[in-house]
Structure 1
Amino acid sequence: MIKNFDLSTANYGRVRKGEYHIAILPWGATEPHNYHLPYLTDCYLSQAIGLDAARLAWEEGVHTMVLPPVPFGAQNPGQRELPFCIHARYETQAGILSDIVESLDEQGINILLILNGHGGNSFKNMIRDLAVDYPDFLILSAEWWKAVPEKEYFDEPGEHAGELETSVMMHYFPHLVELEHAGEGKQHGWTVDGLRKGIAWTPRNWLDVTKDTGIGDPSKSTREKGKAFAEACAQEIAQLLVDLVEKDQLYDK
């Protein structure tokens, strides 16, 4: 069977002849990433990691399809005001996810991995709700950059458009990285102890937190760091895909 694991480029003539075990849904955002990375960075990276993981899973006999990335993410105050930054409400994201699950369920595909690329997105409550409507459908979410310890690969990974994201973009899409224009990605933290310690949470106002929209210094980014990290993440995610299909059950007896 010919490998067809990228729905962005696959055609029905080939896909219809195959059997698929699992689908990956890359989910990103449309937002500024400092001065040097594209607005769709979160989409590019979650899709690229997903494709690498799907390729590795195919080599183990687990047929995986990577869906086109969803470019609508949840944004903080201070981001929404920036030109062409798009904020998607919970209800919008939940509606998109529900329609995708309904479509896949109708087609007999009942495992979906949401591969998240945007820290502002959270799918837990959506998945809990969908588990009520589709009890035989397994939906999981993973943030791709948490698949392996980031500090083993980077000096200062950063949170947004820092060394980690910039390095991985340099690996996959070097032509889209303008590192010479990058801001320093300096972050202004909370003054309230309870917020700084994580006792309480509220969304940060991005305009108060960062001048250039980045959090994390991208100056030490390299293509080599990005390649090593991306390959390690893809390998872990691929193993997850294989285990989900090959394991008889999710729980120990």
Structure 2
Amino acid sequence: MIPRPYILAETTWQYVKDHAPEVVILPWGATEAHNYHLPYATDNFQCDYVAAEAARLAWEQGAKVMVLPTIPFGVNTGQLDILLDMNLNPSTQLAILRDLVRVLVRQKIPKLFVLNGHGGNNFQQMLRELQAEFPEVFLCTANLFKIVDRSRFFSAPGDHADELETSAMLHIAPHLVLPLSEAGAGTSKQFRVPALRTWAWAQREWSQVTDDTGVGNPAAATAEKGEAFLQALTEELGQFLVDLAGADPADLYE
């Protein structure tokens, strides 16, 4: 495989020292069970793929972008009793982010984009705190699953090891997806308190919500759906990276 110059893990110092990026992309996933048919690293595979493909599209348009290695552990405080679901507390994530932003400040890299590929992660409040602390670097984030409207591609509802994630993995890493006949139905329970289903929020205790760790039936998943979804997603994200690389943080509003 030819090294990709916009992927830091594949890039050498010989290239980097002469090509400082305008935007650094930090994909952040999780390591957790995904029903019976998807691997524990599903979120990380998706983050890797989306970040790399979006960066390729942006780089080919002249944007100076660089993708950092995906951080493979996320917030799984609601899944502590599910074997080998690995947890980083939000305070730990903040400490990691602070250290990384300090590097960017020191090296005068002006923009950081955190690509969130896991529902338990939430970086907005962390970036608020860090933006006040480090005004030299523009900080932004997006949730991978909210960049395009899922209803354009998938009919079954869900948010974990569902039709969307299964379709994406059938495109990204089909050799790691077990036959759908082995998947659980992804049936899940809802909160008894009505407001907690809509405008109020509480953490879901995963082992009480679902028997197979999935939320959403993956039965209708196909590689073709995954390819179409990922193409739309990476094109949208790639254009954002082009716009972000060309933007002046001191002149963002009109």
TM-score under structure 1 length normalisation:
0.94
Counterpart for residue 215 of structure 2: 215
Contact 2:4 2:11 in 1 (8 A): no
Q: What residue identity is the alignment partner of 2:201? A: W
Identify the residue that residue 69 of structure 1 maps to in structure 2.
70
Matched ranges for 1:1-253 at <5 A: 4-77=5-78, 79-178=79-178, 179-198=180-199, 200-248=200-248, 249-252=251-254
Q: CA deviation at 1:19?
A: 3.0
Q: For 1:72 and 1:56, how far apart are their aligned partners in 2?
A: 27
Query: 5+ unaligned residues in a row in structure 2: which ranges?
Result: none
Q: 1:176, 1:9 → 2: CA distance? A: 23
The answer on whether the counterparts of 2:34 and 2:214 sit within 8 Å (CA) in structure 1 is yes
- SS at structure 1 position matched to 2:9: coil
Distance 2:76 2:68 in 1: 23
The Cα offsets for residues 107-163 of structure 1, whole Å up to 9 and x where unpaired, read as: 221211100000010111110111121112111110112111100011115200000
* Offset, 1:226: 0.4
Across the two proteins, how many residue pairs are aligned to each other?
249
Q: What is the distance in 1 between the residues matched to 2:98 and 2:140?
A: 13
The TM-score, its normalising length taken from structure 2, stands at 0.94
Secondary structure in 1 matching 2:26: strand
Q: Secondary structure at the match of 2:39?
A: coil
1:11 CA displacement? 2.2
Contact 2:104 2:137 in 1 (8 A): no
Separation of aligned partners in 2, 1:80 and 1:28: 17
Question: Which whole-Å CA distance do the structure 2 matches of 1:41 and 1:107 have between them?
Answer: 32
Asked if the contact 2:81–2:207 (Cα under 8 Å) also holds between the matched residues in 1, the reply is no
RMSD (Å) for aligned C-alpha atoms: 1.4
User: CA–CA distance in 2 between the matches of 1:224 and 1:10?
Assistant: 31
| Contact 1:150 1:157 survives alignment (8 Å) | no
Q: What is the rounded CA distance, in whole Å, between the counterparts of 1:102 and 1:159 in structure 2?
A: 34
Amino acid paired to 1:184: A
Distance across 2 between alignment mates of 1:51 and 1:124: 22
